[in-house]
Amino acid sequence: MPSQTLPAVWTERHRLHDPGGEVWVGVSIPGTEVVARGDLIRAALAEAGFSIVDPVVHDPSHLHRVHDPAMVDYLRTAHDNWVAAGYPEDPGQDRVVPYVFPLPQAVADRPFRLPAAPSARAGVYTTDTTTLIGPGTYAAALSAADCALTAAEMVLGGTRAVYAACRPPGHHAGRGFFGGSCYLNNAALSAQALRDGGVDRVAVVDLDAHHGNGTQDIFYDRADVLYSSVHVDPGAGWFPHFVGFADERGRGPGEGANLNCPMAPGGGDGPWLEAVEALCTAAAGHRADALVVSLGVDGAAGDPESPLDISADGFCRAAEALAGLGLPTIFVQEGGYDLDRLGGLVVGTLSAFATPGGHR
Ligand code: SP5
Ligand code: ZN
């Protein structure tokens, strides 16, 4: 049986975002969310015969459907303000990096004052020191959001499944915070666009190796969008460390519409695929009318950012389980950092979804 494909939304504008490394435990390191990722994914899609379409440019006001407008405005202006303050010359840092954070227990119960220094403003919205802002970061993040919104519009128009090749990724960006190499939450924007387009109930299934603390935050109080995730156990020492535990089940009207399946490091395909089945069962139980898959492939064996040890075949089996739901589906790219395997993992997963059983 010839392998089928799905349309892929991709733009070269991802290249505008070159984080130039990250600061981790106080040390500047090269980082793994690199420009090459976006181009490797495109090359693999093209070679496998996927049709590649440009995103439609959207007005940035769409972002306010899931993000705090003040954070969006910060992201838009942060790098210009950083340069104007002279940090590229003194002390010699041309990317926006925080050094101080307004922890709730340190600033609670008094009026919030936006700090005057750009170096201090850099800590207001980010959770960590690994998510640097360069000159083109905001433009690229906007274009990644355009990919996710365009995919949603294609599905609303009747296309069964679409892949949004988003870079930078998004699932660690919440309503009013960003981090973990993410700036704007592409998957949440997709899910919200489906809702706004008339889809009643949406399920987000997050396969990235890390918990999508941003997506969980955005939908935590809502009954209309289920957030569900399988990820390496934050309690075992993994990012995002503070969030992603099994007892986080949603709040208020959203009680029961959040499902976390933390995995022990090194578990491999068996327990991970059992968890994927549980996520599919939850999506069906949610009576979802459409699916948004946060497709990180950083759980793959050999990936430098996770210890999950999932095989390429494991990703194909997960895709087949998702296909079994029979729902209109948007795949949104998240992580995946093993540059030798990234393209093959993404194409293999999407192909298995389009042609269940076709890879065996
Ligand atoms: C989108 C996504 O997958 N974000 C995950 C970011 C996780 N970053 C954790 C901290 C980075 C530390 N990297 C050091 C690697 C040493 N092997
Ligand atoms: Zn990840």
Q: How far is CA 249 from CA 32, 244, 253, 313, 339, in A?
A: 31, 10, 11, 30, 34
Where is average pLDDT lowest: 31-35, 161-165, 354-358?
354-358
Mean pLDDT of 138-152: 99
The reported pLDDT for the residue numbered 360 is 63
pTM of structure: 0.98
DSSP 237-251: T-TTSSS--TT----
Query: What would the pLDDT profile of 245-296 be if each residue is shown by its tens digit?
Result: 999 999 999 999 999 999 999 999 999 999 999 999 999 999 999 999 999 9
Residues 305 and 84: their CA atoms lie apart, in Å, by 34
Where is average pLDDT lowest: 50-64, 107-121, 130-144, 323-337?
107-121
298 lines ligand 1 (CB under 6 A): yes
Could you give the percent of the chain with pLDDT greater than 90? 96
Q: Which strand (E) or helix (H) includes residue 42?
A: helix 35-47
With cut-offs at 50, 70 and 90, classify the pLDDT of residue 2. low
| Greater pLDDT, 290 or 110 | 290
pLDDT higher than threshold 60 for residue 83: yes
Q: How far is the CA of 336 from the centre of ligand 2 (A)?
A: 7
303 lines ligand 1 (CB under 6 A): no
Residues 255 and 18: their CA atoms lie apart, in Å, by 39
Q: Which residues contact residue 72 at a Cβ distance below 8 angstroms, ignoring those fewer than 6 apart?
A: 60, 63, 64, 184
Residue 345, φ and ψ in degrees, nearest 5: -65, -45
Mean pLDDT estimate for the chain: 97
The reported pLDDT for the residue numbered 40 is 99
238 lines ligand 1 (CB under 6 A): no
Q: How far is the CA of 49 from the centre of ligand 2 (A)?
A: 27
Burial class (CB in 10 A: 0-12, 13-18, 19+), 194: buried
Q: How far is CA 212 from CA 187, 193, 242, 359, in A?
A: 10, 19, 12, 29
206 lines ligand 1 (CB under 6 A): no
239 lines ligand 1 (CB under 6 A): yes
The reported pLDDT for the residue numbered 1 is 47
Query: What would the pLDDT profile of 181-212 be if each residue is shown by its tens digit?
Result: 999 999 999 999 999 999 999 999 999 999 99
**Which atom of ligand 1 lies nearest, measured to the CA of 298?**
3
Mean pLDDT of 232-254: 98
Query: What would the pLDDT profile of 8-46 be if each residue is shown by its tens digit?
Result: 999 999 999 999 999 999 999 999 999 999 999 999 999
Could you give the percent of the chain with pLDDT greater than 70? 99
What residue's CA is closest to ligand 1, atom 9? 239
Catalytic residue selected from 171, 172, 231, 286 = 172
Tokens of 228: 């569900």
Q: How far is the CA of 209 from the centre of ligand 2 (A)?
A: 5
The reported pLDDT for the residue numbered 305 is 98
Q: How far is the CA of 185 from the centre of ligand 2 (A)?
A: 13
